A and B are shown apart, each in its own frame.
Chain A
Amino acid sequence: MRSLTCDVLVIGSGPAGLAAAYEAKKHGAEDVLLLERNDELGGILQQCIHTGFGVREFGEDLSGPEYAWRWIARARSADLRVLSETMVLGVDHSRRVVASSRALGLVEILPRALVLAMGCRERPRGALAIPGSRPAGVFTAGTAQRLVNIEGYMPGERYVILGSGDIGMIMARRLTLEGAQVVAVCEILPYISGLRRNLVQCIRDFDIPLHLCTTVTEVRGRDRVESVIVSRVDEQWRPIAGTRQEIPCDTLLLSVGLVPENELTRMAGATIDPATGGPVVDEGHGTDVPGIFAAGNVVHVYDLVDDVSAAARIAGRSAGRYVRQGAPEAGQRIRLRAGENVRAVVPQILGLAALEEGPVVLQFRARHPVEGPVRAELVMGEGAGARVLLSRRHRYVRPAEMVTMSLPPALAAELAAAGDSARDLAVRIIE
């Protein structure tokens, strides 16, 4: 087996991997190697042909491919080494990576720092356990997106979409514009799970029927889907008797959530946060395995790619610094927990030494929507006696829209003074 070394190795060339590799190079890593299993760089964005990317990063409303190609051009200008058609098979805690490469065969790579940027994948049908037959014509929305946008193949003519995630809503519009019929979008929750702009421009604009508190309870058809049975559900998601309705269709698309792709992260021995499905990271996006960093949708699923690039820059910078100076002095480390109406907080670990150097941005999501003024707070202690360290107003919160809170460096002194009682802080959203 061939053996390679490099300063920083990045696995995955989506927006996260590209930004991390670019930034690592800019911050002191001489030899940066980027690995991608596909023949083309750019990750999932190549199939996201709609616009809405890059408003923050480039001040322009770009399509997915345009956003990807801008970053590919940046990466090229930075003189990175790129190995495409190379699939990473294994990683261990000493950062030894084994990959299968079209050009080099089986290779072993020993980097001084490693950035994981494998993205996320869609929840498949198996995770849903819909009873009924298993005919052809059931696809995840992302698979349908690839078929329609890259391969030029329409998977069906009459569609039901289960789940109101962004990819599902975007596909509803795409298929409608291509001349297909989208007869229903069903969402089990009482609210849509994607962005509200997509409700407007993908669903309402085209008068596509949206059924909330409704799910698919059966798929019918022998060789090909012939219809689905949908039912309204109660608060416990149990189908309500007497609400069954049969909808004829030839294709069922699933848009029921994304999960971080973390097989390799587990192999490396990094601790996974069950709330995000990604590794526990500190403010520099380092995992708890020395020299291994994580960026983008492997950490938690983002809704805006601009935020992916911003977070990946932090990971790349940390990896570059690790190569130059080794692990930074962490100082006191604080555990950040999800409190009331918060699903998960990233980063989960905050080093006070890093906070002294500059602001640290926390990212989190609400568990349930509040359509009125709320406060997002960083608190010490529990319940009514909790001490509020920081409080920010928001006009509303929705699970589909990530909430951010920037911690000012001045907070570091206050936390240091609080000593042990500040070991563990919570983020909460209250009305």
Chain B
Amino acid sequence: MPDEREFICVTCPVGCSILAKVEGQELIEIRGQACQRGEAFVREELTAPRRMLTTTVRVRGGKLPLVPVRSSAPVPQGLLFALARALRQVELSAPVGDHQPVMLNALDTGIDIVTSRAVEACEGYEEKPGAGT
């Protein structure tokens, strides 16, 4: 017997409610998605859900103490905590560029973590050997 399940597509802010008939991991019928990406989303939810990761990374000598970072594409949901933990260990030195890579191929996902904005260096800040951590 196929199950009737409701999904809320998180691919874009529209957040379509999608009704899907599924049997195990197989998709039998689907309705409610306003665009094609909705079906791809449901298929992925049934097998290997992915989510965007956004967090912050510390910046040394910057006008701001943190820079926001994001994954360049959605990452496997099960890795969100491990990635956030790994990024808490990272510290960049100002100036930090926009879309500067922070972690390439993060945890072997094939996905990069990049900055979401630039952070200028603080005037008068000099890098001291051994400063920071």
Contacts and interface: CB of A to CB of B under 8 A. Distances in A.
B54 A201 contact: no
A118 B73 CA distance: 33
B117 A66 contact: yes
Interface string A364-392: 00000000000000000000000000000
Residue of A63, A150, A304 most packed against chain B (CB within 10 A): A63
Interface stretch (A16-24, A191-199, A412-420): A191-199
Given A65-B116, A66-B116, A51 B70 contact: yes
A199 B56 CA distance: 22
A90 interface: no
B77 A199 contact: no
Contact of A200 (B8, B54, B56, B64): B8
Contacts of B85: 179
Contact of B65 (A46, A152, A177, A401): A152
Interface in A386-412: 395-396, 401
B27 interface: no
Nearest to A200: B8
Contact of B54 (A63, A150, A179, A197): A63
B103 interface: no
B60 to A, nearest CB: 12
B117 A197 contact: no
Contact of A149 (B32, B68, B88): B68
B84 A69 contact: no
A61 B68 contact: no
B40 interface: no
A396 B32 CA distance: 11
Contact of B66 (A150, A196, A201): A150
Interface residues of A, number: 32
A174 B66 CA distance: 15
A337 to B, nearest CB: 28
B84 A55 contact: no
A210 B49 CA distance: 22
Given A149-B68, A177-B81, A177-B84, A49 B8 contact: no
A55 B10 CA distance: 12
A302 to B, nearest CB: 11
B8 A51 contact: no
A69 B98 CA distance: 10
A177 B13 contact: no
B76 interface: no
Contacts of A65: 68, 116-117
A61 B10 contact: no
Interface in A54-80: 55, 61, 63, 65-66, 69
B13 A49 contact: no
Contact of A152 (B32, B66, B117): B66
Contacts of B88: 178
Nearest to A47: B68
A50 B58 CA distance: 17
Interface in A90-131: none
Contact of B13 (A46, A55, A152): A55
B15 interface: yes
Contact of A177 (B55, B58, B116): B55
Given A178-B84, A195-B15, A197-B10, A149 B56 contact: yes
Contacts of A179: 85
Interface string A42-53: 000010011110
Nearest to B73: A61
B115 to A, nearest CB: 9
A148 B120 CA distance: 20
Contacts of B131: none
B65 A49 contact: no
A223 interface: no
Nearest to A69: B117
A199 B55 contact: no
Interface in A290-337: 303-304
Contacts of B54: 49-51, 63
B64 A61 contact: no
Contacts of A61: 12, 52
A314 B15 CA distance: 26
Interface in B32-83: 32, 51-52, 54-56, 58, 64-66, 68, 70, 77, 80-81
B113 interface: no
12 contacts: A46-B117, A49-B56, A55-B12, A63-B70, A151-B65, A152-B56, A177-B80, A177-B81, A179-B85, A196-B8, A201-B10, A205-B51
Interface of B: 8-10, 12-13, 15, 17, 32, 51-52, 54-56, 58, 64-66, 68, 70, 77, 80-81, 84-85, 88, 98, 116-118
Given A49-B54, A49-B70, A395-B32, 5 more contacts: A49-B55, A63-B54, A66-B117, A178-B55, A401-B15
